[in-house]
Amino acid sequence: MRHSNATPSRWRCLCSYDGTNYCGWQKQPQGHSVQGCIEQALQKTFTKKTKTIGAGRTDAGVHAVGQVFHFDAAWGHGSDKLLKALRVRLPEDIQPLDLVEVPSSFHALCSARGKSYVYQAVEGYALPMEMRYVHSLKNRMLDISSMRKGADHLVGRHDFSSFAASRGSGEVESPIKELWRLEVIRSGRRIKIKALGGGFLYKMVRSIAGALFDVGIGTLKPDDICDLLENRERTRIVKTAPARGLCLEKVYYRRPKV
């Protein structure tokens, strides 16, 4: 069914995806992306190319339960039917959760005020059905108290250059970010690192997780995190934790209470 004669509306969609089989959120000339799959589903729905704008990019292998994107399209049959039309055209590892019509002033990326991520790991080995989502620490045991002390150094507004990676595309982004909260939570042998902030650099959360894991096993001291932060330069000391453990939890369009 064609809707080209109707006035386009702006739609906001909340979606979840398993990033294992994707090169990341962003559509790329070579690579199977989440955004590419969604735009293909929209093209089938509207019989025309429909561009999406995401709240941010997730890396290859990173998951999301609360990604947000918007698109402009004419549709006169209600949001419920549009959500259903999108669901039936997407693979099982991408699931739109909610879709609403919004004012044209809304922008999934520019209107965002913050994001939360969670990194999950397990001492020993993850169970087979959860290996896609949890980093197995194998024989490494963590000192959670030391990790929390290290995490405290990172909360606040800082230059996070030491915990970022270059995209290699010539993009320039300010390394100054504000981390509102950074928690290290243990439940038995399971560990979660939860990060809430106004914005994140490329591979920043995974780099923070990697550094905190090294604090946990004693390779780094809690105060070394402060020294790395003040150094403002990426070195081999900071390791990037595997993508599978990271998940984008939520995008905030009002600053959350911390």
C-beta atoms surrounding 78 within 10 Å: 10
Contact 100, 11 (CB under 8 A): yes
CA 256 to centroid of chain Cα atoms: 17
Name residues whose C-beta falls within 8 Å of residue 251's C-beta, 6 or more positions apart in sequence: 55, 56, 66, 67, 68, 108, 112, 114, 115
Rounded to 5 degrees, φ, ψ at 17 are -155, 150
Q: Please give the single-letter amino acid code of residue 157.
A: R
Catalytic residue of the set 59, 98, 214, 224: 59
Q: Among this protein's residues, is 159 annotated catalytic?
A: no
| Dist. CA 57–CA 186, nearest whole Å | 28
Handedness of CA 154, 157, 158, 163 (dihedral sign): positive
Which residue blocks in the chain are alpha helix, DSSP H? 34-46, 79-87, 144-152, 204-217, 222-231
Helix, strand, or coil here: 245?
helix
70-to-56, 75, 81, 110, 119 alpha-carbon distances in Å: 12, 14, 17, 11, 26
Helix, strand, or coil here: 47?
coil
- The residues that are catalytic are 59
